[in-house]
């Protein structure tokens, strides 16, 4: 096992804490549906070619990630706002989008079970987390509908001039189930070429490897 001086150890502990905080701060901003702020604050510079991968899709490059996270996220929120105005005319009928942004929706994603490996050169890090999610979607006729959404996250992080940033993010959704239903039987999470959602007839899927110690990013794999 490698030994460190007190100064080196303090630096590594501070960097590990900062990496974990990036994921948590990102989760808080997405809860408030502040998608644009979440992207520019906690994702890497566009020229690093960030990627985001879900069960069935991969978004490669800043423009693609921006389209999925920000443009699609904001379009969905505006659509949901319009539905909520119709369903709750007395409370929301006269409100502008900016006054009710995300009303009725929730994207509660706790960030748990962190496994973080900081590169020896302290320029990059790799992390894996589990997220226990409580979310809502807006039904056009019935309004907010609650779901359990449990996911694994795997990420590469890179240190930039203003701090640690998400570089590559993989979101592996195990199940998305309406509250009150049996998630072992009712699972709306998609199964795609990148990850297989929970099915009772198959063994649990690893998805991607758990991070292990490494020297530099060139010595390891990319999420």
Would you say residue 169 lies in a domain?
yes
Residue 148's pLDDT is 97
Contact 159, 166 (CB under 8 A): no
**Structural domain span for residue 187:** 6-68+105-219
Tracing tokens 């007190």 back to the chain, one arrives at 6
Residue 173's pLDDT is 97
Residue 204's pLDDT is 85
Would you say residue 202 lies in a domain?
yes
Distance between CA atoms of 137 and 80, rounded to whole angstroms? 8
Kind and range of the H or E run holding 103: none
Instruction: Identify any residues that bridge with 134 across adjacent strands, giving them in sequence order.
Output: 108, 148
Would you say residue 73 lies in a domain?
no
Would you say residue 132 lies in a domain?
yes
Please name which of 5, 208, 50, 20 lies closest in space to residue 125, comparing C-alpha atoms: 20
The CATH number assigned to the domain holding 183 equals: 3.10.450.50
Residue 180's pLDDT is 96
Residue 205's pLDDT is 81
Residue 4's pLDDT is 86
Which residue spans within the chain are E strands per DSSP? 51-53, 58-60, 107-109, 112-118, 124-139, 143-160, 163-178
β-strands 107-109, 112-118 pairing: unpaired
pTM above the 0.85 mark?
A: yes
Residue 117's pLDDT is 97
Contact 153, 129 (CB under 8 A): yes
Would you say residue 80 lies in a domain?
no
Residue 64's pLDDT is 98
Overall number of domains in the chain: 1
Residue 110: phi and psi, rounded to 5, are -70, 145
What is the mean pLDDT of each successive set of 10 residues along the chain, which is 223 residues long?
A: 88 96 96 96 97 97 97 97 96 96 93 96 97 95 95 98 97 97 96 93 89 95 96
């Amino acid at each position: 096992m490698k030994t460190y001086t007190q100064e080196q150890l303090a630096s590594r502990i501070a960097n590990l804490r900062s990496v974990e905080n990036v994921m948590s701060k990102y989760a808080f901003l997405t809860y408030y549906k502040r998608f644009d702020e979440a992207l520019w604050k906690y994702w890497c510079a566009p020229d690093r070619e960030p990627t985001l991968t879900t069960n069935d899709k991969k978004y490669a490059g800043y423009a693609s990630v921006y389209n999925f996270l920000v443009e699609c996220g904001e379009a969905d929120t505006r659509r949901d706002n319009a539905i909520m105005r119709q369903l709750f005319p007395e409370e929301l009928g006269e409100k502008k989008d900016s006054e009710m942004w995300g009303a009725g929706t929730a994207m509660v994603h706790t960030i748990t079970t962190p496994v973080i490996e900081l590169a020896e050169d302290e320029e990059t890090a790799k992390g894996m987390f589990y997220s226990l999610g409580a979310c809502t979607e807006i039904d056009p006729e019935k309004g907010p509908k609650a779901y359990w959404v449990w996911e694994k996250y795997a990420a590469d992080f890179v240190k930039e001039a203003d701090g640690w940033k998400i570089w590559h993010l993989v979101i592996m959704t195990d199940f998305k189930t309406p509250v009150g239903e049996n998630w072992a039987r009712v699972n709306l999470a998609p199964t795609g070429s990148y990850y297989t959602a929970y099915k009772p007839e198959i063994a649990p899927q690893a998805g991607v490897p758990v991070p292990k110690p490494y020297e530099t990013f060139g010595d390891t794999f990319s999420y």
